[in-house]
Amino acid sequence: MRIVIFGPPGVGKGTQAKLLVDKYNVDHISTGDLLRNAVAQKTPLGLKAKTFMDAGNLVPDDVMIDLIGDYLRTNSSKSGFIFDGFPRTIAQAHALDELFASFGISLDAVISLEIEHESVVRRLSERRVCKSCGHISNLSVLEPGKESVCPDCGGELYQRDDDKPETIRRRLDVYVEQTRPVKEFYERSNRLTQVDGMRGIEEIHRDIVGILEALKSRKLVP
């Protein structure tokens, strides 16, 4: 099972990816993690990527695709994987298809979690973080009058800059601008399925599992 999962900040795609990892025993692949591991282990690709990072530049697509290729070669026996937030561009989507073809595999599904942007703004702007222990709270569950007190350790809660409404809206605008053409690319090849991300975690998970099980059944039909 090979899946890409898309979703704007705050939609809970990380939570859904973890549930799918647990259910299907597949890997959750973050290209950021692949990159950091390669740099830490000083692999040839990691050293190449580091030269771009040290210069303050983005790591080129061909290096990222090569990192994914290394992962596929090392984990060829695994039952599958979930890409979280990759590909981000049309060029990356094409390159990923070509890479998969070279391994004789294909992408099974692209799941896009859809949510009203103002709902994301409300959800994330109510998030508070403890300066002492790092515990994450939400204004909706904090006691009235104790909105700045950590329920775990009593430390001071604060709002991170990237959780401020104006910052969240900018992040959402960037997400839409980046992913719209990629989603259209997968829609044209009938690989994109949109899922309502406005509901509870279990309900969303049940829908995604239903989509994946239907795909598995079709693949088994001669």
For residue range 37-87, list pLDDT tens digits in order. 999 999 999 999 999 888 888 789 899 999 999 988 888 667 789 998 789
Q: Is 13 among the residues known to form the active site?
A: yes
Cis peptide bond upstream of 87, omega within 30: yes
Q: Residue 74, SS3?
A: helix
Parallel, antiparallel or unpaired: strands 127-130 and 81-84? unpaired
Q: What is the DSSP letter of 122?
A: H
CB 107 within 8 A of CB 185: no
Among candidate residues 13, 123, 128, 191, the one labeled active-site is 13
Residue 220 pLDDT grade (very low, low, confident, very high; cuts 50, 70, 90): low
CB 82 within 8 A of CB 19: no
Give the global pTM.
Answer: 0.79
Tokens of 25: 């025993």
Among candidate residues 2, 36, 171, 183, the one labeled active-site is 171
Q: Per-residue pLDDT for 221 more than 60?
A: no
Q: Is 171 among the residues known to form the active site?
A: yes
Could you read off the pLDDT of 78-122 as tens digits, one per residue?
778 999 878 988 999 999 999 999 999 889 999 999 999 998 898
Q: Average per-residue pLDDT in the chain?
A: 90
Among candidate residues 123, 127, 128, 191, the one labeled active-site is 127
At residue 30, the pLDDT reads 83
Among candidate residues 18, 88, 164, 169, the one labeled active-site is 88
CB 84 within 8 A of CB 29: yes
Q: Which residues pair with 27 in a beta bridge?
A: 81
Hey, how many other C-beta atoms are within 10 angstroms of the C-beta on 26?
18
CATH 3.40.50.2000 matches 2-26+79-115+179-220: no
Q: Is 218 among the residues known to form the active site?
A: no
Among candidate residues 23, 78, 131, 160, the one labeled active-site is 160
**Domain ranges, ordered by start, for the chain:** 2-26+79-115+179-220
